[in-house]
Structure 1
C-alpha cells in the first residue's frame, strides 16, 4: 500500500471517492456536508492498494496550527495499520510545513485510535453530522 500527498486531479477524485463511500454511503453523512468550502485550501491524501484507492484524509492550516480532517479507511482495509500509516504521513507533512500542533475532531468510536498516536482529548462530547465527536490535540 502506498500513501500519497495529492498532486493530481485524479488522485483528488480518488480521495473523494473513498470519503463518499465511508462517510456518505456507510455513515449516512449528507453529501453536501462531506464536500465543503475548505477543499481547495487543504492538502489531500490518498492511499492505494494495487491501484485501488482505499484511504483518504486532508489537512488544513488554521491560524497557527494544522487541522486533520476526513480521515477514513475503506471497511476492507481497516485493522491493517493503514490508518496509522496515513496519520504518520499527514503528521510528517505538517512538520515539513512548520506546524507544531495538530487538532482534529474524532468520532468517539475512533478516540482510542488517536490516543495511540498521542492525541489528547480536549473537549466534551459534541455532534457533527449527527455523529458523536470529541476534539483532540497533539503537539508535534
Structure 2
C-alpha cells in the first residue's frame, strides 16, 4: 500500500507504443540523467518480450514510475528489473505499489500459462547494490 497522502494514481500494464515509451522515458530520466548510467545500457534486447508496468497520476495520466518483468526462455521464473520512480514522488512509497503490481501480474500470468497447479512462482530481482534493502524488507508477499 502506498504511503498516506500519496497523490491519486493508477498502475497499468503498458500495452501501447506510447505507454511503453513513457516507461522508457522514466527509466532514461532516472538511470541515465539522474544516476549517470550510459544511455546505451538502458534499452536492451529484452524490451519487446518484457512486460512493462506504468505508474501514473490520475486524472492527468502523467507517468511517474515504471517496473519491468522478464520471463527468461526456460520460463521457470520471472525477473523483476528496471524499477524507477521520478525523484519528486519517491517519498510516497510508490515503489512498493509497483512491486505489488508486478507480483499480481506474475500470479495471473502463471495461472494462464500452464502453471496453474504450481503453489508459487519464483521471482528474482535484478537491482543495484544500494537498493537491495528496499527489496529485502518486503521480500515475501
**TM tier, shorter chain?**
0.7 to 0.9
Q: State the Cα deviation string for residues 46-90 of structure 1 (Å, max 9, x = none).
A: 111232110011101122100111111000100202100000000
Equivalent in the alignment of 2:130: 109
1:100: how far off?
0.6
Q: Which has the larger radius of gyration?
A: 2
Structure 2 residue 30 is the aligned partner of structure 1 residue 22: yes
Q: Which structure shows the higher strand fraction?
A: 1
- Structure 2: how far apart are the matches of 1:40 and 1:117? 29
Q: Which has the higher contact order (CA 8 A, sep 6+)?
A: 2
Equivalent in the alignment of 1:83: 95
Please give the TM-score of this superposition, normalised by the length of structure 2: 0.80
> Deviation above 4 Å: which 4+ runs of structure 1?
none
Aligned with 1:44 (options 46, 52, 55): 52
Please give the TM-score of this superposition, normalised by the length of structure 1: 0.81
1:116: how far off?
2.0
Structure 2 residue 100 is the aligned partner of structure 1 residue 100: no
Equivalent in the alignment of 1:56: 66
After superposition, the CA RMSD in angstroms is 1.4
The number of residues matched between the two structures is 120
Q: State the Cα deviation string for residues 89-109 of structure 1 (Å, max 9, x = none).
A: 001111111171101122122
